[in-house]
Structure 1
Amino acid sequence: MTELQVQPSAKKDALTFCIFGVVVFALTLFLYLAGFALPQAAWGLMYIASAALFLLGVAKIIEPPVSLLISPRTIRYEHRRGHWQIDWDNVLRYDIPSVRSGLERDTLPYIGFRLHNIEPVLDEISPRLAVYLVSEQRHLLAAALRRETGPDHDYTPYYDVPSKFVSASGKVYKGVQALFAVRSQQLRELLGYDLYVPASALDRPLEEFLDWLKQVESHRPRNTTDAN
């Protein structure tokens, strides 16, 4: 097994968003110069829409061309703000997380990884990526709290900023590392996983990616000395 690369599907639409943003801007400018009578709010909305589309496209373009690097030894998540990396031997399980919906469960647009030990991730993750993930996953936490806890549950502790985090081995983390560690612990408690890769970072639908990843794992050489 050689190193496998996963290219994010979200990046494929980057140029389309940029072009569409330019087209909307050009159309708005043409209508304005042609003297079309539109409410001031409509002009403003069209300009804002064109800028938003263009900036969204640019944001997709500057994302790394590869979101996941999978080797016989490690899984590495790449983001423009940094990366995290886990050893296959540190993965307890992985799946598509879900939340309660009446008598059934609704899947969430992520692949979740449950780890034996999160310390290697805390030791390596960049502060910029840690802060971004905590912010990005607020809606994930909110969905889990609404569906997995009772209506009278006190949510306040889940949004408090921790002063420190003490790992299972007794190592103390502070600042951004502590914040990320506590958020990972909360999501593990509610959804069962420590780390989450969004569906937009994958190159195929969630179920297909999960099946593919299981096949990759089944063909992974054990006791490899490959260094990623």
Structure 2
Amino acid sequence: MTDPAPEVMQKISPAARKHGVGFALLGLLIFAASMFLWLIDAPLPTPAWALLWLVSAGLIFLGWAKVFEPEVSLNITPRQIEYLHHRGSWQLDWDNLVRFDSPRTQKGAETVELPYLAFCVRDIEPILNSISPRLSIHLISEQRHLLTMALRHERPDLHDYSSYFDIPDAFFAPSGTRYTGVQALFAIRCRQLRELLGYELYVPESALDRSLDDFIPWLRELHASRNEHL
């Protein structure tokens, strides 16, 4: 009997990470130039010195933040999709996936495509059991603006958003399991986003190695052919 063929894994490296060294070097260059001007006692006004220091520090910080992002943001196999972040990860089985796309919202008569790869899932429990607490907390905070924007566009008739931000301290899954703490907060936030935008999980476009217009058709082809590698 021959051994089964190994699963093919696709590793996605975030395009944003590639520019990290460039930002850091530009920041160091501006810092070096400002130091040279200071040493030669260049007649610059105080606001100009402050601007040079701030710009150089900001570029260095931004560059190093990008460099220290994980080299791989998504691991994709014929069985699952794994999202990797420096605060943790989550795993989504293909069999638990309903659909994926770039979410859209209505802004008046205009349809706005949001810069995320979004996933709609059948059962949130496997996600709750795989996601790290640190990543849960980060996503709850990071996606607060996404929830606010969705409420403004999708529920313009709603003037009191308190029910969306005063989150209960417990979540009851369809299986009857009671989740509390960070797991409950994350589950309820996922349910709110599903209600408003149609998806629970969101990966920012900056975590991908190409544009959403290119990535989504590629992922669909991968999904369609995954049984060949199981």
With structure 1 as the length reference, what TM-score do the two structures score?
A: 0.93
Q: Report the counterpart of residue 145 of structure 1 in structure 2.
A: 151
Tell me whether 1:72 sits opposite 2:72 in the alignment.
no
Higher mean displacement: 70-79 or 30-39: 30-39
TM-superposed deviation, 1:101:
2.2
Q: Report the counterpart of residue 95 of structure 1 in structure 2.
A: 101
SS at match of 1:41: helix
Q: Report the counterpart of residue 25 of structure 1 in structure 2.
A: 31
TM-superposed deviation, 1:209:
0.3
C-alpha distance in structure 2 between counterparts of 1:145 and 1:29, whole Å: 48
Q: What per-residue deviation string (whole Å, max 9, x for no partner) do you get for residues 203-222 of structure 1? A: 11101100000000010117
Q: Report the counterpart of residue 206 of structure 1 in structure 2.
A: 212
Q: Report the counterpart of residue 3 of structure 2 in structure 1.
A: none
Q: Match for 1:65: what amino acid?
A: E
Q: What per-residue deviation string (whole Å, max 9, x for no partner) do you get for residues 154-199 of structure 1? A: 1112222431111111111111111111111111111000000110
SS at match of 2:75: strand
Q: Report the counterpart of residue 184 of structure 1 in structure 2.
A: 190
Q: Match for 1:113: what amino acid?
A: F
Q: Match for 1:153: what amino acid?
A: H
The 1:152–1:189 alpha-carbon spacing in structure 2 relative to 1, beyond 3 Å, is closer
Q: Report the counterpart of residue 199 of structure 2 in structure 1.
A: 193
The 1:198–1:184 alpha-carbon spacing in structure 2 relative to 1, beyond 3 Å, is same
Q: Report the counterpart of residue 116 of structure 1 in structure 2.
A: 122
TM-superposed deviation, 1:152:
4.0
C-alpha distance in structure 1 between counterparts of 2:128 and 2:47, whole Å: 47
C-alpha distance in structure 1 between counterparts of 2:54 and 2:140, whole Å: 28
TM-superposed deviation, 1:72:
0.6
Q: Report the counterpart of residue 113 of structure 2 in structure 1.
A: 107
C-alpha distance in structure 2 between counterparts of 1:99 and 1:186, whole Å: 14
Match for residue 227 of structure 2 among 209, 221, 227? 221
Q: Match for 2:77: what amino acid?
A: S
TM-superposed deviation, 1:128:
0.7
C-alpha distance in structure 1 between counterparts of 2:101 and 2:158, whole Å: 29
C-alpha distance in structure 2 between counterparts of 1:84 and 1:102, whole Å: 35
SS at match of 2:175: coil
Alignment length (residue pairs): 224
TM-superposed deviation, 1:39:
3.2
CA RMSD of aligned residues (A): 1.5
TM-superposed deviation, 1:151:
4.7
TM-superposed deviation, 1:41:
3.1
Q: Match for 2:132: what amino acid?
A: S
Higher mean displacement: 177-186 or 87-96: 177-186
Match for residue 57 of structure 1 among 51, 54, 63? 63
With structure 2 as the length reference, what TM-score do the two structures score?
A: 0.92
C-alpha distance in structure 2 between counterparts of 1:46 and 1:223, whole Å: 54
C-alpha distance in structure 1 between counterparts of 2:123 and 2:143, whole Å: 20
Q: What per-residue deviation string (whole Å, max 9, x for no partner) do you get for residues 127-150 of structure 1? A: 111111111111211211111111
C-alpha distance in structure 2 between counterparts of 1:151 and 1:20, whole Å: 47
The percent of aligned pairs where both chains have the same amino acid is 50
TM-superposed deviation, 1:102:
2.2
